[in-house]
Chain A
Amino acid sequence: MKSYIIPEFLVERDDHHCIRCEVCVRQCAFDVHRYDEEEDEVFAHEDKCVGCLRCVTLCPTNALVVRDNPTRVPANANWTREVLHNIYKQAETGGVLLTGMGCDKEYRNYWDRITLDASQVTNPSIDPLREPMELRTYLGSKPDAVEIGGGRGRHELETRLAPQLRLETPIMFSALSYGAISYNTCECLARAAAEVGTCYNTGEGGLHRDLYRYGGHTICQVASGRFGVHADYLEAAAALEIKIGQGAKPGIGGHLPGEKVSEEISRTRMIPKGTDALSPAPHHDIYSIEDLAQLIYALKEATGWQKPVSVKIAAVHNSAAIASGMVRAGADIIALDGIRGGTGAAPTMIRDNVGIPIELALAAVDARLREEGIRNRASVVVAGGIRSSADVVKAVALGADAVYIGTAALVALGCHVCQKCYTGKCNWGIATQDPYLTKRLNPEVGTRRLVNLLTAWSHEIMEILGGMGINAIESLRGNRLRLRGVGLTREELDMLGIKHAGA
């Protein structure tokens, strides 16, 4: 069938610059570039280009430009090029539209409408380079009160604390499963988390045996498919996370197509090679908050009550009520994933239309747990579109204990957010299992890039805190007085629990 889809991108090659080295030919797994020996020229099949900019980045002479195709469908605010392309694609295949990464629609980004405070004259600011500044964060259930014993100058904490996850910076790497991403990517995340003193999250794809040694920095997920969930896996983890939902596809399950279930992935997920790995939409042992409690305590029992148990949900309309139930069900950590949260593959319509922005969910959950007097019983971790240290600081001031970053971490590794992760042909060697592509991501280099990112963000957070006259991230947590909204409606300000700038 002739496709009616016009190329999304144009690939332009400056023939004077091009030295026929064929780097672009080798680098593009989508087979866009082709060298013609007879003509001694490199041509492009532009219709296949996904705009990942791998060729542009690697071309040694900067001969390439990839840009949006300026050819316009007749101007129409409703029937845009994207809408038309989606319909053509479905008319040609009869399939459900798939996409990767997080929602790219223009739902209001509240981080960009919130500004932070700084000290002036009174309560002077602190210079983090000279003064102590504390970013260390403990995730887990905190007691209602603590008893201190000892006497005669010796003080001891008498209250036995619930298990805590210790982080040197309030930033963790989101759940990214082996299978969705390459082994090398997993290794980069694990090593960087260990080096920085934070945690990464296995996602639902199990834990590769070579990564067990980073177990102290690993949050192991237990999802509906229970892939690779066995006693060693539970024991290796620093914390466990029950995945109920994910921001990119709230309410639906997922599946790793059989062609991606390689030998190593089959070993790690403990399923036969080449079969579809289905994650049902619900956990079939969880149909209620009481059932959730049952799984939380099953995991605690199975691991000797030594590890915090997190429960992750997608941010949806009634997140606050659900979160309250989760805390009462015994979750030590609540992870919320907003509508901009990424994924290796999700149906486009779900990704772009289901869920709510994380800023609003966070504000609602934090407020509800405070109202009910149970905020201390669980830590709150937010995910889904955290792009910078400023977003982290704003999230903490809105009530988060820590954040998860997924997309930002992958961008640090080279991802250009082309959203084609589901094709398995990621030219950056991230969202692929093709050995020719995965070796493009060197674990040493990748680890450095991630450590650098977290180091830089942590410094920035300290600068921002210092500017506010605060010397510990703990003092900012849930301090919404240090936030102001710009250009937000009354209702939005009320939801976020912040004042408008100027007030």
Chain B
Amino acid sequence: MEQKKKEWSQKPGWVKENPPPAEKKSGEKSGANEEEEVGKEMKIEIDHHAALPGVFVRKNGKVQIDAGQLHYRELNNMVKGAVAEGTEEIELDNIYGQRYIGSGIRKPVKIVVHGVPGNDLGAFMDGPKIIVERNAQDGVGNTMNNGTIVVHGRAGDIVGMGMRGGKIFIKESVGYRAAIHMKEYRKHMPVLVVGGETQDFLGEYMAGGIVIALGLTANGDSRFTARHIGTGMHGGLIFIRGEVEEHQLGKEAACEPASRDDIAAIRPYVEEYVDYFGGNADDILSSRFIRLWPRSSRPFEGLYAY
């Protein structure tokens, strides 16, 4: 604060009177169907759940929100309000595609989602544990810093995009570009475990962290069919249960059978997967795994004329 005062008193002469900037008023743009609604004023107060009886219920220290009629902004305001009050567990009923659930939350709150959440579930989050009972859509854990996301179904594209820490467990398969540009940093080690298959470009631009793809599909052990795996990869490790052929890999990814040490290293994550979704970790880990790693942490070295 001292610093700030000094700065203001040093203003050049042409700035006439200059009190420190007042608290900014909160923004009031709507975010529904952005296209039509931008610019219209929509009055949503943070923490106005008292005005909606039956929607927001406190029960044994938990909070339960019936989201059936709620816009994501209302829903997320309620969730943030509850987190700010110190609630440790929040259950969300009747979720129909509301976006950004858990986004930006920085406390280790547990959020249980009954229904299918919308895109960017847990974006930028730093600590919560989100459990989704059914499928999730695109952008699960986008740029998340810490916490856990557990999806008892499938997830869409770019799961764990730019993720820097925390863990994501998806029971079944995921879409394209999972773990794209996932990074690790010091004590942060992001982990993505996918029970089923992944689509193309798994681990594209990957710069750190661990991806484990178990290929446990309904009809037993089918072949892993994704292509361009690890394209542009320059950090991190990808473990795939089963085999992939050379032509399925991006040119920046190298591949070899996983060693015993590798299996030991991924065991805790596979066990955690089994804890959530059932199965037998020993059975899963006794199959063949391959390990993908980047050929170089400097993929663009030598590309330029200096």
Is B301 touching A276 in the complex (CB atoms < 8 A)? yes
* Number of interchain pairs (Cβ within 8 Å): 219
Residues of B within 8 A of A462 (CB): 14
**B11 with A196: CB separation less than 8 A:** yes
B126 is an interface residue with CB less than 8 A from chain A = yes
| A197-B11, A301-B100, A455-B12 as given contacts; A284 in contact with B177, CB under 8 Å | yes
Within 8 A of A (CB), among B235-293: 235
Q: How far is the CA of A476 from the CA of B41 in the complex (A)?
A: 28
Cβ distance B147 to chain A, nearest Cβ, rounded Å? 11
- A199 shortest CB reach to chain B, Å: 11
Given contacts A216-B21, A257-B298, contact A230 B31 (CB under 8 A): no
| Chain A residue contacts of B207, Cβ below 8 A | 271, 275, 278
Q: Tell me the residues in window 252-285 of chain A with beta carbons closer than 8 Å to chain B beta carbons.
A: 255, 257-258, 266, 270-272, 274-276, 278, 280, 284-285
Q: Within the assembled complex, what's the spacing in Å between the Cα atoms of A280 and B182?
A: 12
> Is there a chain A Cβ closer than 8 Å to B228's Cβ?
no
Q: Is B219 an interface residue (CB 8 A)?
A: no
CB-contacts of B155-173 with A (<8 A): 158, 161-162, 164
Residue from A278, A304, A305, A327 within 8 A of B232 (CB atoms): A278
User: What CA separation (Å) do A328 and B183 show in the bound complex?
Assistant: 32
- CB of B119 within 8 A of CB of A276, answer no
> CB of A231 within 8 A of chain B?
yes
Known: A226-B162, A297-B100. A374 touches B39 (CB 8 A): yes
CA gap between A224 and B13 in the complex, in Å: 40
> At the interface, yes or no: B305 with Cβ under 8 Å from chain A?
yes
CB distance from B152 to the nearest CB of A (A): 23
Contact A271-B12, Cβ < 8 Å, known A166-B21, A276-B234, A374-B39: no
Q: Is the CB of B124 within 8 A of A230?
A: yes
Question: Contact string, A299-329, partner B, CB cutoff 8 A, digits 1/0?
Answer: 0111111111000000000000000000111
Q: Mark A228-246, 1 if CB is under 8 A from B, else 0.
A: 0111001000000000000
Residue of B nearest to A141 (CB): B29
**Residue numbers in A under 8 Å from B184 (CB-CB):** 272
Interfacial chain A residues near B124, Cβ < 8 Å: 229-231, 234, 298, 302
Can you name the residue of chain B whose Cβ is closest to the Cβ of A93?
A: B305
Cβ 8 A contact of A95, one of B103, B120, B204, B303: B303
Q: CA A327 – CA B299 in complex, angstroms?
A: 37
CB interface residues, B 1-56, toward A, < 8 Å: 3-4, 7, 10-16, 18, 21, 24-29, 31, 34-35, 38-39, 41, 43, 46
Tell me if B120 and A298 are in contact (CB < 8 A): yes
Could you say which interface size class chain A belongs to?
35 or more
Pick the residue among B31, B119, B164 that contacts A270 (CB under 8 A): B164
Interface segment out of the listed A41-49, A157-165, A181-189: A157-165
A294 on interface, CB distance cutoff 8 Å: yes
Chain B neighbourhood of A284, CB < 8 A: 158, 161, 177, 180-181, 204
CB–CB A230/B126 < 8 A: yes
- The answer to whether B305 touches A271, judged by C-beta atoms less than 8 angstroms apart, is no
Contacts of A293 in B (CB 8 A): 34-35
Asked if residues B26 and A160 are in contact (CB atoms below 8 Å), the reply is: yes
Contacts of B43 in A (CB 8 A): 160
Alpha-carbon distance between A96 and B301 when the two chains are bound, in angstroms: 11
Q: Are A257 and B300 in contact (CB under 8 A)?
A: yes
Of B4, B46, B164, B305, which is within 8 A of A96 by CB?
Answer: B305
Q: List chain B residues, Cβ under 8 A from A97.
A: 304-305
Contacts A330-B29, A459-B14 given: A306-B300 contact, CB under 8 Å? no
- The answer to whether B148 has its CB under 8 Å from any CB of chain A is no
Q: Is the CB of B297 within 8 A of A302?
A: no
Q: Are A234 and B12 in contact (CB under 8 A)?
A: no
Cβ A229 vs Cβ B31 within 8 A: no
Given contacts A160-B28, A272-B185, A330-B29, contact A301 B103 (CB under 8 A): yes
- Chain A, 99-113, contact with B by CB distance < 8 Å: what is the 0/1 string? 000000000000000
B99 A161 Cβ-Cβ under 8 A: no
Indicate if the CB atoms of B305 and A90 lie closer than 8 Å: yes
Q: Report the 10 A-B pairs with minimum CB-CB distance, sorted nearest first.
A: A302-B104, A95-B305, A226-B162, A305-B27, A93-B305, A293-B34, A160-B28, A301-B100, A270-B185, A455-B12
Q: A97-B304, A305-B26 are in contact. List 14 more A-B contacts (CB 8 A).
A: A93-B305, A95-B305, A135-B14, A141-B39, A168-B18, A195-B7, A230-B124, A231-B104, A257-B301, A275-B297, A275-B298, A301-B103, A308-B27, A330-B29
Which residues of B pack against A, CB within 8 Å? 3-4, 7, 10-16, 18, 21, 24-29, 31, 34-35, 38-39, 41, 43, 46, 72-73, 76, 80, 99-100, 103-104, 106, 119-120, 123-124, 126, 138-139, 142-143, 145, 158, 161-162, 164, 177, 180-181, 183-185, 188, 204-205, 207-208, 232, 234-235, 297-306
